Amino acid sequence: MPAIELSNIDKRFGAHAALAGVDLAIAAGEFVALVGPSGSGKTTLLKTINGLSEPDAGSVRIAGEDARALPGHLLRRKIGYVFQEVGLFPHLTVAENIAVTPRLLGWDKPRIARRVDELLDLVALPAEVAGRAPSELSGGQRQRVGVARALAAEPKIMLMDEPFGALDPLTRDALGGDYRALHDKLGLTTVMVTHDMAEAVLLADRIVVLAGGRILADGGPASLLATTTDPEVRGLLEAPRRQAERLRERLGGGA
């Protein structure tokens, strides 16, 4: 049984078809990257999974259950969501931000406190940041808090929309690697939107290429590159290699 299953999903915004007949099944434990040009439907697809975008046609199933069987806010409490702007509440401390969903779920204070301590350790933040305001943290630290908050209620599915896009390259690389390790350690199912093909190739088990609201290609990075005949898909997949070659040339490196 797939952890996530989208069947024949259509979504329009006026005359624009954001998604057109999308079928996608994601197994438990997979890390899937959604890539493609701006306006290709990546974020709409992501939001369709957790009910932030209601499809005009088609069905969404989470662990075999029709997503429409749950009110949207209850569905979203079962699915972690991380996005580029982080969206931490500025008037709350780090600990209070992490505890938002557990409080809504009615967890008692000792359980919440234990979970906050556990998550700060899990995302490699020192315990003393718990009492700080988000404005006192670096961008990378705030994004780690965002990941901790998304994991607070122990979801098995994580959705990530350009989660590391606003970070400097070194922080982005470190946080991406740390999140992939968390994905494996916790047995998560992760769907991540990214414009960075190198990030997709390095982190994901599977890459789904979208254009014009349709899936152009779907598979492991190496197998897609070996088998695709679509020039747009090949161009995307070869981008990290071209960048690496240009870097070697600029830095005077040999083969």
pLDDT at residue 236, as a whole number: 82
Distance CA 159, CA 88 (A): 17
Short-list 185, 226, 47, CA closest to 22: 47
pLDDT at residue 253, as a whole number: 64
**Domain boundaries defined on the chain:** 1-71+192-255
- From residue 2, alpha-carbon distances to 24, 29, 38 in Å are 10, 10, 28
The pLDDT tens digits for 53-91 are 999 999 999 999 999 888 888 888 889 999 877 789 999
Short-list 207, 224, 218, 219, CA closest to 34: 207
Residue position matching structure tokens 């414009």 = 195
pLDDT at residue 254, as a whole number: 54
- End-to-end alpha carbon distance in the chain: 46
Distance from the Cα of residue 130 to its chain's centroid: 24
Backbone dihedral region of 64: left (phi > 0), alpha (psi from -120 to 50 degrees) or beta?
A: left
Q: For residue 65, what are the β-bridge partners?
A: 62
pTM: 0.91
Q: Is 204 helix (H, G, I), strand (E, B) or coil?
A: coil
- From residue 182, alpha-carbon distances to 139, 148, 177, 179, 203 in Å are 19, 11, 9, 5, 12
Domain 1-71+192-255 is classified in which CATH homologous superfamily? P-loop containing nucleotide triphosphate hydrolases (3.40.50.300)
Q: For residue 33, what are the β-bridge partners?
A: 192, 207
Distance CA 189, CA 30 (A): 5
Contact indicator for 187, 156 with CB cutoff of 8 Å: yes
Low-confidence spans in the chain with pLDDT less than 70: 253-255
**DSSP assignment of 27-78:** -TT-EEEEE-STTSSHHHHHHHHTTSS--SEEEEEETTEEGGGS-HHHHHHT
Distance from the Cα of residue 218 to its chain's centroid: 17
Distance CA 80, CA 190 (A): 9
Look up residue 26 and give its two tokens. Answer: 């994601």
